[in-house]
Amino acid sequence: MELIEVAGAGAGPYGVAVGADGGVWFTLVHGGEIGRLAPDGTVERFGLGAAGCGPAVIAAGPDGAMWFSRLRDHRIGRIDAGGAATSFALPTADSGPYGIAAGPDGALWFTESNANRVGRITVDGEVTEYPLPVDGAFPSLITAGPDGALWCTLHQADAVARVATDGEVTVHRLPARGTAPVGIAAGADGALWYVGIGGGLVGRITVDGKVTEYPLADRSAKPHAIAAGPDGRLWFTEWGAGRIGVLAPDDRPDGHPIPGERAEPHGIAVAPDGTVYAALERGQIARLEAGG
């Protein structure tokens, strides 16, 4: 595992995603910046003109740019490959946008953690919001599913929601109270995979709502985000344990400890070649070679 210094510890690397340009893009949630780790190891950081905006989760958009949530000033941001950034205000005040992902319809979809909604934004900045049918659900991360819909975790409702592109919402309750799901990703097996930060587990939900859960050996590991690799493995961050976990198909979870103390891994992404990247809040990006 390689640890790459990208910022001071106070800047807080948080979200991470691989761009169409081959760069690894990351958010600095406390520093109000977006960073890019180039394939040659060069690190660039781009200010957003609002130090307290709280850039959180980042995703590659259908237009070749990177799109990200601005949690603290309630906007959706866009940054192009050259570092030029813009942002779009949301209709609902204090909505707390958090998770974001490209949808199957050529738009970006995001969660509004404070407003209990899911939103859709076109690449031109047109926003539509859809309320969730569960009060106080705290929608968290979101991903495009294999069924043409969006799927998001409802952190405080112990549930996963399916959101059709017309805004119709179906809620699937999870088996146990206190699971507190956050991360979610589409797996190579045609199902959705989530991690329960409260339950210390990895879960699998089929598109018809059947749930299977895999408890971690360390139930206090606080798994936070999850991403699917090209070989079918699922990679996830263990925020509380300072590890990068991995779940192979039909296998038990295992992990890779991150050297040093207080790594606090949050976002995770897998490149097309299988290389794994995790954002460490102490100021680093962890890089794990394919097959590691």
Decide if pLDDT at 290 tops 80.
Answer: no
Q: What is the mean pLDDT of residues 87-116?
A: 97
pLDDT at 252: 63
The structure's pTM equals 0.96
Picking from 61, 50, 54, the residue whose alpha carbon sits closest to that of residue 25 is 61
pLDDT at 9: 78
DSSP the chain: -EEEE-S-GGG-EEEEEE-TTS-EEEEETTTTEEEEE-TTS-EEEEE-S-TTS-EEEEEE-TTSSEEEEETTTTEEEEE-TT--EEEEE-SSTT--EEEEEE-TTSSEEEEETTTTEEEEE-TT--EEEEE-SSTT--EEEEEE-TTSSEEEEEGGGTEEEEE-TTS-EEEEE-SSTT--EEEEEE-TTSSEEEEETTTTEEEEE-TT--EEEEE-SSTTS-EEEEEE-TTS-EEEEETTTTEEEEE-TTS--EEEEPSSS---EEEEEE-TTS-EEEEETTTEEEEE-TT-
> pLDDT tens digits, residue range 92-105?
999 999 999 999 99
> pLDDT tens digits, residue range 251-263?
667 789 999 989 9
pLDDT at 248: 80
Residue 108: CATH number of its domain: 2.130.10.10
**Is residue 266 annotated as a catalytic residue, yes or no?**
yes
Structural domain of 7 = 2-288
pLDDT at 82: 93
Name the active-site residue from 30, 74, 172, 266. 266
Instruction: Quote the number of domains for the chain.
Output: 1
Mean pLDDT of the chain: 95
pLDDT at 228: 96
> pLDDT tens digits, residue range 127-186?
999 999 999 999 999 999 999 999 999 999 999 999 999 999 999 999 989 999 999 999
Instruction: Supply φ then ψ for residue 9, to 5 degrees.
Output: -60, -30
> pLDDT tens digits, residue range 21-61?
999 999 999 999 999 999 999 999 999 999 999 999 999 99
pLDDT at 106: 97
